[in-house]
Amino acid sequence: MKDGKPKYLWGILLGLCLVLLVFVVVTVVASFSRAWEKMVQLDCQTGLKHLGLLCYSYADHNGGSFPSRWSDLATVEYATNAQYFCPSAGHTAGKWASIDLWADYRLVPNLRTSAPPDTVLAIEPLANHHGEGANVLFTDGNVQWWTASEIENWQSKTKSPEPKGPRGGVPAAGGP
């Protein structure tokens, strides 16, 4: 002992400082992770909003009928391949021939512009955002974030299955 203080006291203080430093680092990393996911979610909403505008443009040229499949938009110069893919899904765009099978957003077929504004036009699988929720495009062009329970409620009311894309192996837009 020097100056009446035990030598191990400095070790305890150093250990406490290290624990505090680790706690601060973990908290900051978790905050950045949540902010990053929110940014990707907003990027996905923007892409879905643009697809909604493309659907309206298509409907203007097709008697008020929205496209029944994403490939209907591929026959004209409406969209690029990348717009059909959620940035959070973790994969890249494929070829036009498989856009209906591999798109991340499920297009509800046989809708018209005269449908009520709260009618779902397109929805993405819950897997795109870690099961927390999904972006939903309505026939009025509005895009909203729905929680998993809101999507399950919609599915039970409409008898609609979970929208599946590349991870589920089921056509995302009603079939090719």
Residue-wise pLDDT tens for the chain (176 aa)?
556 666 677 778 888 888 888 888 888 777 776 677 777 778 788 888 888 888 898 899 899 999 988 878 776 565 666 677 777 766 655 544 456 666 778 888 889 999 998 899 988 887 777 778 888 999 998 999 898 888 888 888 876 655 544 433 333 333 33
Residue 83 near residue 57, CB atoms below 8 Å: no
What phi-psi label fits residue 34: left (phi over 0), alpha (psi between -120 and 50 degrees) or beta?
alpha
Residues 6 or more apart whose CB falls under 8 angstroms from that of 91 comprise: 85, 166
CA distance 78 to 58: 8
Rg of the chain in Å (alpha carbons): 24
Nearest to 164 by CA among 71, 79, 89, 97: 89
